Amino acid sequence: MAGITVPHKATEELPGASRRRKPTINDVASIAGVSFGTVSRVLNDAPDVSAATRQRVLQVIKDIGYRRNRAATALVTSRSTSIGILSDGSPRFGPVGTLMALENIARKKGYATTVISVERPYGESVQTALDTLDDTGVGGIIVIAPVVDMAAAVWNASCRIPVEMIAAGASSTPNVFTYSENQELGARLATQHLIDLGHTDIAHFAGSMDWFDGRVRKRGWEAALRDAGLTPGLCLEGDWSPGWAYETALQLVKDQKVPQAIFAASDHTALGLIRAFAEHGIRVPDDVSVVGFDDIEGSDYFLPPLTTVRQDFTALALMSMEVLLGAMEGRDVDRTPIAPTLVVRDSTRRVNSHR
């Protein structure tokens, strides 16, 4: 840092020793010319340390390569410095994006993570995984539960430490509290956008109803249509994949049942149906408007660039961590779901401009 100079002698005290042992908090205190307690307060971001002292201590930590011993910290503070993350191992965009963001946010907050993936039958694997995480000494567990039967296993399991579940639209129980992005709102935004463009025949290429995401996105589509005085029409349940959407769209073309507009439950779903339409001369958005969900990387390079609902995984992870840490520390935290945003591009168009 600018303006901070650690005496050359001090920085030379450790190089030889550092090859034999790791720098300790006492080394930091000695070189910085402060007490053990002051270094501890800096590490724990306590407010009762002057800016100059904090800067000096942080510079020494950087110079000598000191790294906090998490196990020792947990013993001294009686507070775990690690959290567990339980996942179903899904390769789909939402679960993977959530997992990566959680690990990143936890690290930035000074927490190590232990990740375990479970598989069916969840009734057996979930309880075993929770027990394993508890035994490692984590202070709390975040469960990424995209599918309904995994969530049911978590609700039925027992655990001695706080358990938070990320599951869209799911309710909390006395043993498990939930948090999520408001995906039903996202589906409403997508559908309302099509309604505002003058569309009345709005189909839904849905995700799997085994997933919370699929259920709440369908619910948002239905609610937006009913609020507008429209009757929900064609709804086709799929598996989120572009392959399923492609084959399904081909059948609609064959049957001459292509709707005015489609809300696709994922961007990958939108990709498949757009290709099927393009191969048969059906233009997006001239002949049919399409809205996706997720705003995956590259959705702005679809042909045409895709109107979609953006999920903010970083914000979701940050708030999920705050909720879990609040439970671990016994304090209340706002659990208002994260609101997604609609990103309007070129795959949608007003009805009277092309019909």
**pLDDT under 70 in the chain at which residues?**
1-21, 68-80, 353-355
Predicted confidence at residue 70, as pLDDT, reads 53
pLDDT at 4: 46
> So what's the pLDDT on residue 26?
84
- pLDDT tens sequence across 167-186: 999 989 988 999 999 999 99
How far is the C-alpha of 234 from the C-alpha of 73, rounded, in Å?
A: 57
What is the H or E stretch that residue 255 is in? none
Provide the H-helix boundaries in 2-156: 8-11, 15-18, 25-32, 36-43, 51-64, 70-77, 93-108, 122-135, 148-156
- pTM of the predicted model, to two decimals? 0.77
The alpha helices in 136-208, defined as continuous H runs, are 148-156, 183-196
Strands 308-310 and 341-343: antiparallel
The CA distance from 232 to 241, in Å, is: 23
Assess contact for 109 and 167: CB atoms under 8 A: no
Q: What is the pLDDT of residue 332?
A: 85
Query: Would you state the pLDDT for residue 68?
Result: 65
CA–CA distance, 193 with 308 (Å, rounded to integer): 10
Look at residue 331 in the predicted model and tell me its pLDDT.
86
